[in-house]
């Protein structure tokens, strides 16, 4: 390995994108647990998971070569999806601070 190359330059996946994709997938699976209680909860939590998954996926070299994305655009899209996941998470916390969202209570 030379001093000019990054350690991950030969691999398709790096650690952080794989972690973001895994956590995003787990959040999507977790959102299905809300199905008996609230469809809104499923959609909201699923959107958080999808945003996080897409943030990790766009970050990979596979996505850059597949869709011919420049490194600057790759960073921009990855950060945009990560910001969307963060914003949806903050909204989730704010919505749940007013009490549980349960459609059966109406």
pLDDT tens-digit readout, 23-36 = 999 999 999 998 88
Domain with 67 in it: 15-96
8 domain residue, yes or no? no
Tokens of 55: 């943030």
How big is the chain, counted in residues?
106
Segment 21-72, tens digit of pLDDT: 999 999 999 999 988 888 888 999 999 999 999 999 999 988 999 999 999 9
Number of domains in the chain: 1
82 domain residue, yes or no? yes
Rounded to a whole number of angstroms, the distance between the first and last alpha carbons of the chain is 63
Q: Which residue has the tokens 């903050």?
A: 90
30 domain residue, yes or no? yes
Left if phi > 0, otherwise alpha if psi is -120 to 50, otherwise beta: which for 36? alpha
51 domain residue, yes or no? yes
Distance, CA of 86 to CA of 102 (rounded, Å)? 23
104 domain residue, yes or no? no
Q: Which residue has the tokens 């596979």?
A: 62
10 domain residue, yes or no? no
């Amino acid at each position: 390995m030379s001093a000019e190359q990054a350690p991950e330059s030969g691999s398709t996946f790096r650690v952080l994108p794989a972690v973001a994709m895994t956590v995003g997938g787990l959040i999507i699976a977790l959102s299905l647990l809300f199905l008996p209680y609230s469809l809104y909860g499923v959609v909201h939590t699923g959107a958080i998971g999808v945003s996080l998954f897409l943030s990790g996926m766009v970050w990979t070299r596979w996505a850059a070569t597949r869709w011919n994305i420049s490194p600057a655009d790759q960073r921009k899209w990855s950060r945009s999806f990560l910001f969307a996941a963060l914003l949806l998470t903050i909204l989730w916390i704010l919505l749940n601070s007013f009490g549980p969202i349960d459609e059966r209570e109406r």
